Amino acid sequence: MHDHGVCLEMLYQARRRIAGEAVRTPLERSASLSARFDADILLKLETCQPTGAFKLRGAVNMLAALIEDRGREALSAGVVTASTGNHGRAVAHAASRLGVPALVCLSRLVPANKVAAIEALGGEVRRVGASQDEAFSEVERLVSERGMTLIPPFDDPRVVAGQGTIGLELMEDCPDLDRVIVGLSGGGLLGGIGAAVKAIRPACRVTGVSLSRGAAMWESLKAGHPVEVEEVESLGDSLGGGIGRDNRSTLRLVREVMDDHLQVSERAIAAAMVDILEQEKRLVEGAAAVGLAAIEEHGLDVRGQRVALILSGNAVSLSTLDRARALAGR
């Protein structure tokens, strides 16, 4: 096992735990994008998860692992997390399915549609502060004072292993994949997918895509330690937030498995969101469109390659989509 704590065996254990809760999502070839880039462009449709995003995999795996290890009674005080939305939805959904109370702390920046979605799944929402880090301080208080159990959004090997089941599916559905392009913020998604892909097919390139502003992982990788950055509003709001001051696993893991790292502008994200809606008839949030945005904005030469883009989630409101269309000039 590597020092970041995620090995292939953990990924297969995660797959066993999440079966029946998180779905095995389709990997579809995009005819229009394949023609545009003279490549095989494959779309991994995490938008098909019951909660609309990949986060369900990690939340279910961590909760199921905790119940296996400690028994359900140990979680009677409930589970708690901080989230920009999709992880909160995943925890609320997984907890209700597994019969455990859940509380989600959100910053005031999180859009109202995401708050409503968490509450609809039976999770209790508490809004605190103007950043992920402030919301996380409230989580720490609830853990120490009320004995709640933290379900971290990304920085835990059990969460990472859950997201890594996407990598297992990619390798089974397309064993000769040349490159996978993954949105990157906290590193749970890219770290998990990268751990799977590099263990099975080391030649496959893992490309991370961060926002051009407010990208904590980008700054942290450059500095060699966790760096806090100011959060800014973005179409790719799911890629905002810090990586945690005492990041234990994802910073190391991302450094180990990622081959290249690109940043994308708001305009590129907007154009990619509109493209995916118009060409693929799929509604995706900004964070799910960054793979296409990166190919376009950086002119990535993918000719003749098999490339998987992770369409990570569909939590987008019509007003955000209107903003994207205006910015893309469409």
Is position 114 annotated as part of the catalytic site? no
**Cα 216 to Cα 202: distance, rounded to the nearest angstrom:** 27
Q: Of 283, 264, 262, 280, which is closest to residue 325 (Cα–Cα)?
A: 283
Is position 312 annotated as part of the catalytic site? yes
What is the SS3 string spanning the chain?
CCCCCCCHHHHHHHHHHHECCECCCCEEECHHHHHHHCCEEEEEEHHHCCCCECHHHHHHHHHHHHHHHHCHHHHCCCEEEECCCHHHHHHHHHHHHHCCCEEEEECCCCCHHHHHHHHHCCCEEEECCCCHHHHHHHHHHHHHHHCCEECCCCCCHHHHHHHHHHHHHHHHHCCCCCEEEEECCCCHHHHHHHHHHHHHCCCCEEEEEEECCCCHHHHHHHHCCCCCCCCCCCCCHHHCCCCCCCCCCHHHHHHHHCCEEEEECHHHHHHHHHHHHHHHCCCCCHHHCHHHHHHHHHCCCCCCCEEEEEECECCCCHHHHHHHHHHHCC
**Cα 94 to Cα 34: distance, rounded to the nearest angstrom:** 36
Q: Pick the catalytic residue: 44, 55, 114, 198? A: 55
Q: Of 310, 169, 297, 142, which is closest to residue 239 (Cα–Cα)?
A: 310
Q: Is 168 exposed, middle or buried (0-12, 13-18, 19+ CB in 10 A)?
A: buried
Q: Pick the catalytic residue: 83, 210, 238, 312? A: 312
Q: Of 44, 6, 272, 63, which is closest to residue 171 (Cα–Cα)?
A: 44
Catalytic residues: 55, 312
